Structure 1
Amino acid sequence: MQNSVFPALSSSTKRFLLSTSALSIALIGSPAMAQTVSSPANEQTSPPKSGLPDTDPATAPQTTELDETTTEDIVVRGIRAALESAKDIKRNADTVVDSITASDIATLPDLSVAEALGRVPGVTISRFATGGASPDFPSPEGQGNLIRGLGFVRSEFNGRDAFSANGGRVLDFSSIPPELIGAVDVYKNQTADLIEGGISGTINLRTLEPFDRQKPFLAISADNTYTDLRKKSSPSGSITGGSRWKTGIGEFGVVASVSRSKLSSRINGWQQNSPFPRVLDATGNVPQTSLTGAAKLSEFTGVDPSRILGTTPGFQLRTNDVDRDRRSYYGALQWKNDTLQLTAKYIRVEEDTDSIERTFEWFPEHDTGTTAGISNLSVKPGFGSDGVAMCSGAGGFPSNPGDCETLIPIRGGLMESGFVTNRIDAWTGAVGSPVGSLGIGRTEESKTEDFSLNLRWQPTERLLVTVDGQYTKASARQRQIWGGFNTYLDWQIAPDLDNPRIAFSVNPAHRFNPGNTRFSGDSDANPLASPTSAGDLNGATWQFAADQFQVGKGDLYAFRADTAYDVSGSDGLAGWFDSVKFGGRYSERSQTNSEMALNWGAISPAWDGRGGYGVVGTFQEPTKAAEAISFANFFRGGVVEGPNQTFVFANSALLNDYSAFRKYLNAEPQLANGNYNWVPRGTDDGSKFGVPIFRPEDTSNITEQTANAYARLDLKHEFDNGMSIAANFGVRYVRTKLRSTGFQAFRPFVADAQTPAFADTDGDGVLERTRTDDAESRDDPADFLPQSIAYGAQAAVPISFKQTNENWLPSFNLRWNVDSQQLVRFAYSKGLSRPNVQDLRASQEYVVTTNRVNFPPITDENDPLFGIDRGAQNITAGDIRVNRGNPLLRPTTADSFDLSIERYFRGGYFSVAGFYKSLSNIVTNGDLALGTTTLDGQTVNIIYNGQVNQAKAKVKGIEVSYQQFFDKLPGVLSHLGFQGNYTYIDSSTTPPANGVDSDGDGNVDDQTTFFRFGVDDLLGQSDHILNVVGIYQDSALEMRLAYNWRSKYLTTYRDYVTGNPVYNSAAGFLDASVRYRIGPLTLRTSVANILDTKSKARVQIDQSGQLYDRFSFLNDRRIVFGILLQY
């Protein structure tokens, strides 16, 4: 009996002719060379008859079986070859699989695998730099993928573990160049032999192997990418070659590839606040108020809601310039004889990214002092809400727990435009609102290397043994530098996500006056020069600086062995049995992650009058500290109006160089005597990256050992009526051992600053009373809480956690071939996804919070104590907050069901699939009570805030896919093709739990852990996803027009600025590519984001679900021109 699935290894020619394997028609980073493929006249693919499953993880999905009937020769290449191959993989897969091939990736205008995967049915791309769904950090390239709305994705290289050393489990697909990939398989359900870890799916990246080609080959490509916002060109290129030859001891093959790709891009972003309630005065304007803290709520006491206006004076202008340099190296060596095949591979991917982000912003939610006035109002009537919150809890006021959740009704309409002015810091001579200009310099470096060795032994026609070994090591590091300035301005604003308009002005009365401050001992009592424009260095003060470091490294050893035995050919009931397969795998992953939170400190803020404001124009070398950046072309122009279109930011040369940044701040004389309290967390070693200073509690070491075994039985049967079935069922046993070590740290209280009772408040040399005599003895936690102070002063101590989890994962897959063209598929599996490695870190920090009770305010101006600081009436311990990792997290588990009807025909297929998933133990942010302790005579709760297992979710939906080439149309129309898919998803999850309310007063202890409106949507999940691709291909010309659209989706449960949930709006992106072949030379061009689509978002503002505009981001259009030479 001839095994039709796994023929003898020496029969390579027959295998090549009988399979449209993905890799046999693909060249890394280039379209396939023309191949004459023998196919049936009606392209009818029969069900498998017998044989062993392919147990090589790198090649398993490639099996394609064809009836050896009368055939005709057709030439398959390029786009068509890729889609034909993907169709065959999908049809003959043992479970639910969709694929794309290297030809497909290289043809689409996609610069990374992540972007190309966005074309696969049910797969969406994340366009945010945090990989998840953070709405504040968009990315110039796709950063990650969700499968059917879920992010529990397992990533593989050639069927093996692949990861980045960034604390997560998934390989950063945006870092993988298309030139490296032969094909990508997306598994949406499981078989017992697939490695566990992806309950939403597994994405397997397959590289080209030497035996995928029959002859020596060489391909050289060169491209140039122009980005139209950045107005820069970036080169890329690759060289790929391979050969195979026969010797007396067997056949050898080798393939090698090297590529380098650069990209310079820009992102523009406009943000605005949600409707902020303010009271209209008798003139129809919003007056400036001096209410602060909780007193702001009194503005609405007794006011008719018809006089309360929804105002939108806040804004953010953001631009981010990103420079990415990606390099990849790949080599593979194969050898085989009649019974053995040996494959060795080496993969190395490196990526360096430098970016300069600049934001120019002011938001009323974070306005802690005097509230701005708004005049020249244009109001949209009819807008209203039963109640909106005034602040986010992450900044601004509240003074008391629950203040942010006080709902203010709005019935006075919505501000469409207005003039915003402020005198919040008038005591310094400043007039206008303090607009923040923040510059952030980021440097990111990552490297992943993978070594693998695979041995396949087929001693008999029925037995196949595969042994596979792998070693992977990865490293990543990131550094951020923040430089924050203030510029005092007024502005006229008309907020809008498509066409916002804002015009800034400098108030002529604005003039810094160092002698008129709340502090004594000023070095200069003379007013400074008034700034003449928004870009004048004399109008900008250096407020703060911050740094942040993250360094990670990890490695993984894995070994697996699989045995498959062909039991087909028996009569009767035993004839149903086709093959048995069993095996085991062991892996050990070790990862060390060091990370510090953003380390913020004051440089010379405006409220500091003790030696200088840090006014940039007065610096010794001001142009080294700052630069004026024009926003005239922001959003392609027209947003920033009037003469003030240039703003002051920290110099990019400093933001790009940590050592230079530190040296400048240390050397600037103006900052020497100010309120400079920033303590850098890195050393100046002369390098641009710097050397981070990690405390013991900043580092965690995690070792994870997994051992698993599986058994799988395959059934096949052909019925007399022409129908047939193919099924597999099995079970996988998984044992996971985790050891996490780190440090338990305690956060010390800030030292009690000694402030005298008398001070010179007006610079006349006379000391006036500012505090009572006993105020200093009762103004700090140290004056009330000695045990709490001692608790926070403890040294960090080592801690270690161990845990073991065991899981049994059954699976069942059935393919019922109704006839030669139509089949019905069913799949069920139980799966698991382990928590992110960074979430399992043992290091934790314990922080004692305090509650301060002030004396009742004195309102009688004749009272001798009016305006005098009396200290605190009492300060008590609140609770102990524990943050950082949770090494006791358990895996998330899911039951997955799929049912599909698929019809295949020459040139295409049509399929309809339904799916359902039920998930448990989802890891999400929440609070967890750990116990109590006694401090200063009080029972204090110990509360962990971070990642916990507490959510469940259900996901169901349908996928419709259609693909066809219209060969039967006349003339040039016969070269047309179409590819389309639509996915509908209906999901819900447990709403995020609010934080702990330890005192039972109805308010959570930490306002930032309060989640409004009970939103039960899944992050990043759209209800509707659509891909439509039009294709033209003849013997020389290939053209593709691709449109990708998705409906709105939740990006965060709690926005930092508003405190509310934010939804990205529906959006579609149109891309195109053209290729023309002239012999061995291919000319190619592509355009991404032809429609210049903005990524917009809206914020939910009240319990009714009402949405309002929140932000809009615009990416470059990318235009690529290139050539490909192949032999």
Structure 2
Amino acid sequence: MNIRTFALLGSTSLAPLLLAAPVAAQTAQDAEAAQAGDIVVTGYRAAIGSAQEMKRRSDAIVDSIVSEDIGKLPDNNASEAISRIVGVQVLRYNDEAGDVLVRGLPNVGTTFNNREFFTADDRVLHLQDFPAGVVAGIEVYKSGTSDLVEPGLAGLINLRSRRPFEIDDTNIAGEVRGSYNDQSRAFDPSGNLLLTKRWDTGIGEIGALINFSYTRMTYRNADRYADSAIISPLGFNEGSPDDDMTVTTPGVGNFRFPANAGNFYEKGIRHRPAINGTIQWRPTPDLEIYAEGLWQAYRGDVLRDSFNVNFERPDANGVPPTIGNVVLVDGEPDKAASFTKTGGYVPEFSRAAQDDKTDTYQFAAGFKWTTGRATLSGDFAYTNSRYEAHETKIDGQLAYAPTINVDWDVKGSAVFDLGDFDNADPANYVWRGFYQRHLVTKGDGVQGRLDLDLETDIGWLPHLQFGIRASDRTASSQSDDRYAYVAALGTPLASLPTGELSLINDGFRGDPQRFQNWLAPGRGAILNNAEALRQLSYDALGRIDPGAAGSFATADIPYNPLGGFRAKEASYAMYGQGKFAFDLGGISADGTFGVRVVNTDGRYSGNSRVVDPDGTVQIVPQDTRQNYLDVLPSFQTRIHFTPQLQMRLAFNQTRTRPGFWQLNPSLNLVQNGAGPDGSPPRYGATGSGGNPNLKPLTSDNYDATLEYYFSRTGSATVAIFYRDLNGFISNYTRDVVDPEYGLIQINRPENAGKGRIKGAEASFQTFFDFLPGWLSGFGVQANVTYLDGTNALPLALGEGGRQVRITGLSKWAYNLTGFYEKGPISARLSYNRRSSFINSYNRNANEDQYAGEITRGISRLDFSASYEMVKGITLVGNVSNILGKPFNNYRYYNETQYFPRDLRIEGRYFSLGVRFKM
């Protein structure tokens, strides 16, 4: 019996992905079969079959998700959905996936409908800002062909929207859904609506589509932490009493512990509306013209609370704290397990309210014209994106230094209490400071391309392809802020014009943290009284430091010439590519070979500053320029051993430009003064900033796959790959001897040395159609990725080019999904895990030791189900993050010893909704 496969629009909130031409042809053949009474396949089978066919017939090595996969997963946005693809890993924060890594690398190019797309001043789009309702499919290119916009080292991710010619006749479809977060305890609505229609007119066929989408998410995360800085009570140089603390526990000697511990809570509401529309016109069968537009937005209402206990700083009179009741870790006599701190610096806390938003627009027009043996196509677009944030923060501190009891490793991080401190007494809280910030980052760009495909009379070379592309980008960022430090006045926190104080909500779920709540003004009270707080800060600074009061003299935050950068960059590309096909002894082969030549011309500017110990600021304008040419060959071949079994071999070279913010020539350098007793500081200055001397990342990429397709929805594939890297970019903190300032510590992006990644992927999927009755509804998808990647640390770190694991790379990643689809019922249970990965490398102060931070393995389990109540009306339900596993990372202060850093607890999401089609 023949089977017709298509993704039915009404069975999900997303429309079908446009299939490759061979698939479309097959669909037409299947339609004829369906008229004879054959089975029509929809839902999971249709989506998996479409994605499988795309992978099978693609010139490049590509894995994809089509509409049904996204719509039926418990995912709110594109970045959540993409984490199910083999070889793809995501970094999560505040209850959603953010950064995407492909085969362990973050350097991924992104396109929308095969054209460049970006968010604000970034080079890439933020996938988490794309609601699932906008996207019809996602393609992850792991090897690049010459006709693609330049992929990053890790590959290229293309998001595809719907177009009306892909959908038959008139459709109204959509979804309405409500979600509940068990940590924020909030209900959120979301939904999307698709309207599309096609007309046959006297001037040809016309199609129009418009799609509205909206999601809202309320999150609440709780984090308890220990500092990354590791200290000792007798200083790092025993015998030097300059920074010694008093230790009352006899016989413990010198030992190590984090400099700070505390709690951090973040609560927010994310609104993500989007509208996209397309008009297609086919005046003749050989000519198609289209125009499309997208508005994608983000609105955030954020509240951040932090409480920090410092174990190193002295009190206001310069007296260091006293450490008692010291317990050391068994087997590690130089490492503290717990102790009690008295005296020293008072604990500090803050509450920050932030409103931020993003608006991104893209307008495009293009055509495709076939005449004779030539097909000419073009696409031209304008993109504009802007992000803006307003932050208002009140800082406080306790009125005295209570006794602090701390345990440094309890279920993944530090826990502490404040003895008999009364957290509900307003008299125990003092106003410390007031902070305001206004940040704007933005970018825009124009781009255009022309492509020509020529059919030839050469048997082994049926197609020659050529193209040109040009783009012109701008990017900028400007951050203006001001801070009033008023702790010296001892102003009661309760006296501020923000109304009554209340205990904050902690967000923990049964956590052992002993101190969780403190008093603070409400979010609305902070924002609504920002002008009164500004005036109060102005008056307070006038009493403490009249010279500093000027920044608070007006409602507008003064312009900060040191707070921004600007970039302007043009790129010009051309490519030539041939498609070949031939038979050798009954085995056929096809593929592509070509080269892409890209010239990049960029100018990057900003201002550096040096702050003297007396507060004097020197401003130094900076302006740099880069111009370089890349010649990027590619080769892909596909060998067909049988109609079901094929092998791919691929080679291509990639270059990845550094991010605009990484190329920012600005450097902020703050000189340190002498200590209270006149002793010299540990560092003459500390600083951070960008690095205008960064070079593009380079990579030679080798890939091989073996693919077996045993049914329309069944396949088993394996892949091996190797990446020869040079110049991988990451942020490093390093010590530098400067001729003017002496030993300084600086944090900035650096090109690492040579590196490599080798790895393998394996995936399997099938539906058990051969089983009898209701058992035939079961199906499974499983994949695993293994990665082994290292790069050389920069020589500037003093490691002599030492090879270390690449940051952000997990050695193992797994996805296991079970399906059930029979009649009106569909269900999916999806498990995802990635193993531990390195966050960063740096060196400890005054010690010749390697140090770094690692994140432990992360697991996630999600469930979704649907029931078609009547034709065209489907009830859907999802549960996300069922396991609720916390995020854990650990700070290694030498090669074998570590303290836990962060333990972050995220929420579970439950949703229920209705899909419809008319």
* Same fold flag (TM > 0.5): yes
Q: Please say if 1:163 is aligned against 2:118.
A: yes
- 1:315 and 2:261 correspond: yes
Partner Cα distance (2:183, 2:816) in 1: 27
Q: How many residues align structurally?
A: 900
Cα deviations by residue, 1:477-518 (Å, 9 ceiling, x for unpaired): 1233332222233344445453879574455xxxxxxxxxxx
In structure 2, the CA distance between the partners of 1:421 and 1:883, relative to structure 1 (3 Å rule), is: closer
Q: 1:1094, CA displacement in angstroms?
A: 0.9
- In the alignment, which residue of structure 2 is the partner of 1:1098? 890
Give yes or no for the alignment of 1:1022 onto 2:810.
Answer: yes
Aligned to 2:582, what secondary structure does the other structure show?
Answer: strand
Q: Relative to structure 1, is the Cα distance of residues 300 and 802 closer, same or farther in structure 2, using a 3 angstrom cutoff?
A: same
Could you list the per-position Cα deviations for residues 696-729 of structure 1 after superposition, in whole angstroms to 9, with x for gaps in the alignment?
A: 34333321111110000011124553x2111110
1:821 aligns with 2:622: no
2:275 counterpart residue number: 329
- Deviation at residue 448 of structure 1 after TM alignment: 0.8
User: Structure 1 pair 380/835, CA: closer, same or farther in 2 (3 Å)?
Assistant: closer
Structure 1: gaps (5+ residues) = 1-16, 34-56, 128-137, 280-286, 385-408, 426-433, 508-531, 686-690, 752-788, 855-868, 996-1009
Task: Tell me the distance in 1 between the aligned counterparts of 2:265 and 2:844.
Answer: 19
State the partner residue of 2:859.
Answer: 1068
1:728 alignment partner, SS class: strand
Cα distance in 1, alignment partners of residues 562 and 203 from structure 2: 57
1:1109 alignment partner in structure 2: 900
CA distance in 1, matches of 2:850, 2:185: 36
Between the aligned partners of 2:9 and 2:648, the Cα distance in structure 1 is 28
Sort the Cα spacing of 1:901 and 1:499 in 2 relative to 1 into closer, same or farther, 3 A: closer
Task: Give 5+ residue unaligned stretches, structure 2.
Answer: none
Alignment of 1:166-181 (within 5 A): 167-181=121-135
Write out aligned runs for 1:60-79 (5 A).
Answer: 66=26, 73-79=38-44
1:1089 and 2:845 are equivalent in the alignment: no
Structure 1 pair 322/992, CA: closer, same or farther in 2 (3 Å)?
A: farther
1:585 counterpart residue number: 469
8 A Cα contact 1:223 1:1123, kept in partner: yes
CA–CA separation in structure 2 for the residues paired with 1:495 and 1:712: 60
1:191 aligns with 2:145: yes
Does 2:309 correspond to 1:362? yes
Q: 1:223 to 1:486 in 2, by over 3 A?
A: same
Q: Which amino acid is the alignment partner of residue 912 of structure 1?
A: V
Report the equivalent of 1:349: 296
**C-alpha offsets along residues 932-972 of structure 1, whole Å, 9 cap, x if unaligned?**
98xxxx79899986334343321110000111001001121
Q: What does the per-residue CA deviation read over 1:199-242, in whole Å, with 9 as the maximum and x for residues that have no partner?
A: 21111000000000112111132111100111110111211110
CA contact (8 A) 2:313 2:320 kept: no
Query: Which position in structure 2 is the counterpart of 1:1123?
Result: 914
Quick check: 1:546–1:678 contact (8 Å CA) kept in 2?
no
- Which residue, out of 270, 295, 310, partners 2:242? 295
**Cα 1:333–1:692, aligned 2, differ >3 Å: closer, same or farther?**
farther
Aligned partner (choices 586, 592, 595) of residue 728 of structure 1: 592
Q: Is the 8 A contact 1:696 1:796 kept in 2?
A: no
Aligned ranges 1:1038-1077 → 2 under 5 Å:
1038-1054=826-842, 1060-1077=851-868
Q: How far apart are the structure 2 equivalents of 1:587 and 1:32?
A: 30
Q: Which moved more, 1:207-216 or 1:485-494?
A: 485-494
Superposition pairs of residues 204-223 of structure 1, within 5 angstroms: 204-223=158-177
- Residue 705 to residue 59, structure 1, CA distance change in 2 (3 Å): farther
Q: Is the 8 A contact 2:542 2:549 kept in 1?
A: no
1-side partners of 2:814 and 2:253: how far apart? 45
Task: Quote the residue 2:447 is aligned against.
Answer: 558
CA separation in 2, counterparts of 1:103 and 1:308?
60
1:615 counterpart residue number: 492
Q: Tell me: CA distance 1:29–1:346, structure 2 relative to 1, closer, same or farther (3 Å).
A: farther
1:30 maps to what in 2? 13
Matches of 1:174 and 1:655 in 2, distance apart? 29
Structure 1 residues 658 and 1063: CA distance shift in structure 2, 3 A: farther
Match of 1:243 among 162, 186, 197: 197
Paired residues of 1:191 and 1:730 also in contact (CA < 8 A): yes
Give the Cα–Cα distance (whole angstroms) in 2 for the partners of residues 454 and 362 of structure 1. 59
Determine which of 710, 716, 719 is the counterpart of 1:905: 710
Question: In 1, are the aligned partners of 2:683 and 2:743 still within 8 Å (CA)?
Answer: no
Deviation at 1:977, TM superposition (A): 0.5
3-state DSSP of counterpart to 1:635: coil
TM-score where L is the length of structure 2: 0.89
- Name the CA distance, whole Å, in 2 between partners of 1:500 and 1:924: 26
Following the alignment from structure 2 to structure 1, what is the Cα–Cα distance between the partners of residues 914 and 600? 49
- Aligned match of 1:545: 434
1:537 partner letter: P
User: For residue 65 of structure 2, what is the amino acid of its counterpart?
Assistant: I
> Percent identity between the aligned chains?
24
Provide the residue aligned with 1:147 in structure 2: 102
Question: What SS is found at the alignment partner of 1:1061?
Answer: strand
SS in 1 for 2:776: helix
The 1:263–1:719 alpha-carbon spacing in structure 2 relative to 1, beyond 3 Å, is same
Aligned residue runs from structure 1 range 740-759, under 5 A: 740-743=604-607, 747=611, 750=614
Q: Distance in 2 between matches of 1:968 and 1:877?
A: 71
Please say which of residues 102-111 and 152-161 is displaced more in the overlay: 102-111
**Is the contact between residue 28 and residue 102 of structure 1 (CA under 8 Å) also seen in structure 2?**
no
Partner Cα distance (1:366, 1:343) in 2: 65
1:971-982 map, 5 Å:
971-982=773-784
Q: CA deviation at 1:908?
A: 1.1
Aligned twin of 1:388? none
Q: Quick check: 2:246–2:321 contact (8 Å CA) kept in 1?
A: no
Q: Distance in 2 between matches of 1:1011 and 1:1062?
A: 17
Q: Tell me the equivalent position of 1:404.
A: none
Hey, what does 1:961 align to over in structure 2?
763
Q: 1:453, 1:87 → 2: CA distance? A: 30
Cα distance change, pair 1013–29 in 1 and its aligned pair in 2 (3 A): farther
3-state DSSP class of the match of 1:636? coil
Report SS of the residue matched to 2:190. Answer: strand
> SS of the residue aligned with 1:179?
helix
What displacement does 1:316 show? Answer: 1.8
Greater percentage in strand: 2
Instruction: Give the Cα–Cα distance (whole angstroms) in 1 for the partners of residues 4 and 772 of structure 2.
Output: 29
Counterparts in 2 of 1:310 and 1:836: CA distance versus 1, 3 Å: closer
Q: Could you report, residue by residue, the CA deviation over 1:798-841 in whole angstroms, capped at 9, with x for unpaired residues?
A: x5433211010000001001101110011110011111112233
Task: Choose 913-922 or 91-100, whichever is displaced more.
Answer: 913-922
The 2-side partners of 1:310 and 1:662 are apart by 41
Q: Distance in 2 between matches of 1:19 and 1:724?
A: 27
Write the letter of the residue equivalent to 1:548: R
Q: Which stretch has the larger CA shift, 1074-1083 or 541-550? A: 541-550
Match of 1:627 in 2: 502
Query: Is the 1:275–1:310 contact (alpha carbons within 8 Å) kept by the matching residues of 2?
Result: no
User: Residue 481 of structure 1 aligns to which amino acid in structure 2?
Assistant: T
1:395-432 per-residue CA deviation (whole Å, 9 max, x = no partner) reads: xxxxxxxxxxxxxx45xxx52x55x241226xxxxxxx
2:217 is equivalent to residue 263 of structure 1: yes
Q: Which residue of 2 aligns with 1:1031?
A: 819
SS in 2 for 1:1093: coil
Question: Could you tell me which amino acid in structure 2 is paired with residue 381 of structure 1?
Answer: D
Pairwise CA distance, 1:545 = 3.2
2:512 aligns with 639
Check whether the contact 2:408–2:899 (CA below 8 A) recurs between aligned residues. Answer: no
Rounded Cα–Cα distance in structure 1 between residues aligned with 2:415 and 2:596:
61
Q: Is the 8 A contact 1:210 1:243 kept in 2?
A: yes
Determine which of 485, 489, 507 is the counterpart of 2:402: 489
